[in-house]
Amino acid sequence: MAAAAAAAAVAHDNSVCVAAFGDHEPSQGDDQVAMEEVAQVYELIKTHQPLLLLHHQPQQLAYSLLTQAMRALNVALSVMKHLPPASVAAVPVNMIKAEETPANGSATPGHDASAADGGDNLHAVGKATRRSSAAKKRRINGEDKPSWFQLTTVVPHEDGYQWRKYGEKKIQGTHFTRSYFRCTYRDDKGCQATKQIQQKDNNDPPNFQVTYSNDHTCNFCTTRIINNSNNPALHNPAVNPDVDTICNKMIKQEPQAAWLPPPPLKAISNDLDETPALHVCQEVPPCSKFYCSDAAAGTCSSNSSVIAHYTDEFDHHQMGQQLLETTVMEEALVLGADLDDPYFNDPQLLFLYENIMNCY
DNA sequence: GCGATTTGACCCAC
DNA sequence: GTGGGTCAAATCGC
């Protein structure tokens, strides 16, 4: 049941991404239909998520898939509602279609197939033909690869994906350099995902604009949860021949699992998660919200596992839920949330979403 | 030794 | 001509 629901979620997720970031410019009618469709998917996922979390074995996979789907849906909703940048800029973590803002006036790099083999061409043909015609397409007529950006105070280097820095540039009009990253698995899997990190100010903590371009197609950047799953099928080379190889490489080379909170408290609820691989985490983002709200009072030991955290929440959060909802709702209001948005009508999901985003 | 990062140069769109 | 994205040699770090 869980796998089927998760698969359905992913199927919806993919279509939503296309709708949100494709070239098609939706009409007002399209907007309405899309909104209804996305809202329907959202409700479906929202309904299934608590059920999935109550299952022990498939929950990590399901959680991973649902999380991605929910993130995409939230982005899609934001895009389709054409939220003005000013209304979302105050939100610590939010995803906005990049083309809609002057802050991203310059185009992000195109789906630059020539870039991957550009070096070889350079040596073979010479500098005059260094960039192929594909590179020229990069910004013609404003045509660009899908991109969106995230405004965040969270250390943007720890978003859960594996990135390799390939450049840094001083940008005119800013006091900070812009860093350029591409997916670590670009060469291995041809994943074209890139991101740019632009520090916006010197606040404490500083604000960053993280511009993402192209979705990850490697599938391995997000297998950190799957890799830790007890589900043997996920490690069956006959089913997924690349998973073990790539994930072992991930652990060997880049052992951080950025989505896990730090371990000052009790480790993991053993009855929920017996996967030692979860502890490969070495670096974590400042996602303090990930701790159970009862941990400080010593009445809750859930902390180290996302799954354990949320499952524990289902177990004992009822008594503290009202307080939690009040806090999150107040915070959402302060952050300028649109309370007509169904997403913000569910404070627990808002809380969950923010924590996920903070830790990815 | 190998992979990641740094940094100046190159290239293209505007 | 300029700004910004990318390349790739040099360098760094494990």
Q: Would the pLDDT of A233 be above 60?
A: no
- For range A202-212, the mean pLDDT: 78
State which of A219, A239, A269 marks the end of a domain.
Answer: A219
- CA of residue A190 to C1' of nucleotide C1, angstroms: 35
Does A237 map to a domain? no
- For range A177-201, the mean pLDDT: 84
Both A23 and A105 in one domain: the answer is no
Q: Would the pLDDT of A203 be above 70?
A: yes
The H-or-E segment that residue A120 falls in is helix A113-125
Does A343 map to a domain? yes
What pLDDT does A254 receive? Answer: 34
pLDDT-based confidence at residue A204 (cuts at 50, 70, 90):
confident
d(CA A165, CA A159): 14
What is the 8-class DSSP label of residue A222?
T
Does A103 map to a domain? yes
Please state whether strand C lies within 7 Å of residue A130 at its CB atom: yes
* Domain count within chain A: 3
**Structural contact between residues A98 and A152, judged by C-beta atoms closer than 8 angstroms:** no
CA atoms within 13 A on the CB side of A224: 23
What pLDDT does A172 receive? Answer: 84
What pLDDT does A238 receive? Answer: 37
State which of A219, A247, A279 marks the end of a domain.
Answer: A219
Does A234 map to a domain? no
Q: Would the pLDDT of A145 be above 70?
A: no
Q: Would the pLDDT of A143 be above 80?
A: no
Please state whether strand B lies within 7 Å of residue A133 at its CB atom: no
Q: Tell which residue, A186, A216, A213, has the closest CA to residue A68.
A: A216
Q: Among A23-32, A227-236, A320-329, which stretch is predicted with the lowest mean pLDDT?
A: A227-236
Q: Tell which residue, A14, A114, A129, has the closest CA to residue A72.
A: A14
Residue with tokens 């009009």: A173
pLDDT-based confidence at residue A72 (cuts at 50, 70, 90):
low
What pLDDT does A350 receive? Answer: 52
- For range A116-122, the mean pLDDT: 35
State which of A199, A219, A239 marks the end of a domain.
Answer: A219
Instruction: Between A184 and A38, name the one with better pLDDT.
Output: A184
* Identity of residue A110: G
pLDDT-based confidence at residue A171 (cuts at 50, 70, 90):
confident
d(CA A169, CA A313): 44
One DSSP character per residue, A20-62 reads HHSS----HHHHHHHHHHHHHHHHHHHHHHHHHHT-SSTHHHH
Please state whether strand B lies within 7 Å of residue A201 at its CB atom: no
What pLDDT does A193 receive? Answer: 82
CATH code for position A180: 2.20.25.80
Among A112-116, A154-158, A270-274, A276-280, the range with the most confident prediction by mean pLDDT is A154-158
* Identity of residue A40: Q
Query: Which nucleotide C1' is nearest A108 CA?
Result: C5
Both A166 and A77 in one domain: the answer is no
What pLDDT does A58 receive? Answer: 52
Both A279 and A323 in one domain: the answer is yes
Both A4 and A37 in one domain: the answer is yes
Percent pLDDT > 70 in chain A is 16
What pLDDT does A291 receive? Answer: 29
- CA of residue A327 to C1' of nucleotide B5, angstroms: 42
Instruction: Give the residue numbers spanning the domain of A329.
Output: 255-360
CB neighbourhood size of A326 (10 A): 11
Both A77 and A91 in one domain: the answer is no
Both A88 and A78 in one domain: the answer is no
pLDDT-based confidence at residue A69 (cuts at 50, 70, 90):
low
Both A7 and A97 in one domain: the answer is no
d(CA A74, CA A148): 13
Both A95 and A153 in one domain: the answer is yes
Chain C bases near protein Cβ (<7 Å) = 2-9
Q: Would the pLDDT of A164 be above 80?
A: yes
Both A98 and A42 in one domain: the answer is no
Does A128 map to a domain? no
Both A197 and A71 in one domain: the answer is no
Both A209 and A309 in one domain: the answer is no
d(CA A340, CA A32): 16
Does A230 map to a domain? no
Does A138 map to a domain? no
Please state whether strand C lies within 7 Å of residue A122 at its CB atom: yes
Output the six-digit token pair for A77: 């909703």
Does A196 map to a domain? yes
Instruction: Between A270 and A81, name the one with better pLDDT.
Output: A81
Both A337 and A267 in one domain: the answer is yes
What pLDDT does A180 receive? Answer: 92
CA A53, distance to chain mean position in Å, is 19
- For range A247-258, the mean pLDDT: 33
**Degrees (nearest 5) of the Cα angle A62, A56, A3?**
30
Please state whether strand B lies within 7 Å of residue A123 at its CB atom: no
Instruction: Between A116 and A36, name the one with better pLDDT.
Output: A36
**Mean pLDDT of chain A, nearest integer:** 49
Q: Would the pLDDT of A201 be above 70?
A: yes
Q: Tell which residue, A348, A288, A347, has the closest CA to residue A154.
A: A288
Query: Which nucleotide C1' is nearest A130 CA?
Result: B11
Please state whether strand B lies within 7 Å of residue A145 at its CB atom: no
Query: Which nucleotide C1' is nearest A118 CA?
Result: C7
Chain B bases near protein Cβ (<7 Å) = 3-14
